Structure 1
Amino acid sequence: MIQAIPKSATFDQFVAWYPENSEYRYELHNGVIVEMPLGTGDRSDVAGFISGELFLEIRQRQLPYLVPKEYLIKSSNDKSGYLPDVLVLDRLELLKEPRWKKESIITMGSSIRLAVEVVSTNWRDDYGYKLIDYEALGIAEYWIVDYLGLGGRRYIGNPKRPTLSVYELVEGEYQIRQFREDDRIESPNFPGLSLTARQIFQAGISILESTNE
């Protein structure tokens, strides 16, 4: 039985409330517990494709990183907790994390090499709360994968087009580069990654085409 959602909560109250083995996913946004919408098959394809490509890059280059299955990011203001669609963690920095081994909770931006959000109907959260909090926490690299071009024109331009935004932390502030169509993705933490924006946006199609070759 799912407990009633409190009207407001701190991060620790949110963690204590979170129902075990729930079929739903929840995040804490500025003290408010939010039920995350179920993703579409296409969105899952995109997130899974990115996760797989990053895992291969880590393995091939023998980087001290991991792509975990379970995790929760605690914001620096104690009012938010996030579950990005893809997360890459630094194994060495994880040794300093006080809550990782017992709770899979990340409290320091230095532990995160890359956070990825695949945009859905709640795109305002990805370009709003999360962007601000990831920057404040000191997450080195953040991708917003807007594969349907849903975001506001002030974020992805006019006319709206599928856009992958890479935010790199430079002197405490995010600097943005955007990639579309056949642009090759330039990742500060994964410079050897050889992917275009189109390959990511059409992940399911790309896999089928490579299988049939």
Structure 2
Amino acid sequence: MSRTTLTRDEVLAAAASLVKQHGPAALTMRKLAAELGTAVTSIYWHVGNRESLLDALVERTVQEMGAILPQTPSGGTPGAGRTPAERILSVAGILRRELRDRPHLIAMVHERGLTDRMFLPAQQALVHEVHGAGLRGARAADAVRAIQFQIIGFVLVERNRERSPAQSPAESELWDPANAPHDPPLARALARPADPEHLFQLSVRALVASLLRSGADRPPPAGRP
């Protein structure tokens, strides 16, 4: 039996779920109607044609990405964190999670030329924190972009590793401690699977510490405020 009541938000949420799971090609009006237990005409009434639906999904994704605010490690109150560095790490972790959670939707945003707009709220959150750490002008801008590029680049590497075929020889074979007598503990560590969460925290923490520590002391490049 078809549903008698349906909202636009419900249609968009169901469409977003289909895209997140299977990609944009899997999103058809008929499949979406079946998912919602309604008639195809009802879908058209709420969101228009498929192209209009995709546009609405992109706008919804941009708005959701705009809700990025620093939180405590346990997901507590937004804005929490004792220092700018801690709050930057919080923003970085949230942005990474959001990018990983919706790759197909992020790709749709990029294809429509809205990537910069999508990242603006996260940039603004980072600007607030680097200002709090004492950086201004070009130094602050460089810090914000360096952090943003690190997050995006890390996510791309993560996804490429996840999608890559099984490697032969694998790292466990390439880093046999017997062939690295100068540093067997290093070889054993590199032979183990990488821990993305640990590496993300390590790399972003080191980058942020370096930027906030050195950026406040260095004079700006010639010709830059």
TM-score by length of 1: 0.26
Higher share in strand: 1
Larger Rg: 2
Higher relative contact order (CA 8 A, sep 6+): 2
